[in-house]
Amino acid sequence: MNTKNDHFPQLTAAWLVLVILTLVSLGLSEWFRAAAWLPLLVAAIIWFKGALVARCFIESHVAHPFIARVLKTFIVLAPLALIATAFYGATLARWATL
């Protein structure tokens, strides 16, 4: 078995998915700008792209548990905040008012 190219298809596939999702995001902003579920989908894409970079490029699945946790936490932070702002924006603004 030729093992020399085993890792490149995975990296290339990850890069292609990142490019496609970037272009899809642009389309979403044009076609579904008024849709109430758009922030939900955008949040899912942010999380997926971040997780893809962490797993395929940083190889977080074989990293020290602390590193894996730092990556997981940061990647999930913005999507959760985006969903909270989109659906509970007024409540969040009230809590964050000085």
Partner 1 sequence: MRSQAILDSNPWAPPPQTEKRIPGNKGIWVGITCEFIEFAVLFIVYFVARAHFPDAFQQGADRLSRVSGTIITLLMVTSSFFIACSVTTMRAGRRQASIYWLIAGLLVALGYPVAKYLEIQWNLAHGINGESGIFFTVYYYLTFNHLVHATWGILGILWVLARLLFRGYSSEDYAGLEALACYWHATDIIWLVIFPLFYVLA
Interface ranges with partner 1 (CB under 8 A): 1, 3-8, 11-12, 14-15, 18-19, 22-23, 25-26, 28-29, 33, 38-39, 42, 45-46, 49-50, 53-54, 56-59, 62-65, 67, 70-71, 74-75, 77-78, 81-82, 84-85, 89-90, 92-93, 96-97
Alpha carbons 27 and 22: distance in angstroms, whole number: 9
Contact 82, 39 (CB under 8 A): yes
Which ranges constitute the DSSP H helices of 1-98? 7-31, 38-52, 65-95
Residue 44 identity (one-letter amino acid):
A
Give the number of C-alpha atoms closer than 13 A to the C-alpha of residue 15, restricted to the C-beta side. 7
Minimal distance, residue 28 CB to partner 1, in Å: 7
Least Å from the CB of residue 81 to partner 1:
5
Length of the chain: 98
Closest separation between CB of residue 67 and partner 1, Å?
A: 6
How far apart are CB 15 and partner 1 at their closest, in Å? 4
